[in-house]
Amino acid sequence: MKVKAEPTANAALTELAREFVGSAEMPRPAAPSAGSGLELALSDLISDANGEVVLFNDSGFRTLALSTEQTVVADGQAKAHVTASGEDVSGFNFVTFDNGVTLYFQDGLDVILT
């Protein structure tokens, strides 16, 4: 007696996809390179109770384009400071906007306002 195992859901989906696209290899999207940039809108960032946002650059991006209509009212390097959310941003670069948001980021990340 022969036993035929039913294909798993993943195997069945894989087989269906192969039938749909044929045997051609599916292209994979390219991963961003470490030198690539990232673009965000200031309005998309969520600040803490004091209007502070901290960016940690674990991604290796060198550039962040930040789109905003807000005006920069201050920038520089933070002295000893801990945010309301408990992040120690001492020595981080910062930019403060006229809407009260302060963005902290580490050296090695260039922030370009657009």
The closest of 72, 55, 71 to 108, measured between CA atoms, is: 55
> Is residue 17 in some structural domain?
no
Return the biggest CA–CA distance within the chain.
81
Q: Please, are residues 64 and 105 in contact by the beta-carbon 8 Å criterion?
A: yes
In a domain, 3, yes or no: no
Residues of the chain with pLDDT under 70: 1-37
Could you read off the pLDDT of 26-41 as tens digits, one per residue? 554 444 444 556 789 9
Residue 11 lies in a domain: no
- Domain assignment of residue 93, given as a range: 37-113
Residue 22 covered by a domain? no
> What is the reported pLDDT for 30?
47
In a domain, 44, yes or no: yes
Residue 36's pLDDT is what? 56
* Contact indicator for 61, 26 with CB cutoff of 8 Å: no
Phi-psi category of 9—alpha, beta or left, where left has phi over 0 and alpha has psi -120 to 50? alpha
> What pLDDT, in 10s, does the model give residues 15-27?
666 666 665 555 5
In a domain, residue 18? The reply is: no
Rounded to 10 degrees, what is the CA torsion of 113, 62, 74, 46? 80
Number of structural domains found in the chain: 1
Residue 57 lies in a domain: yes
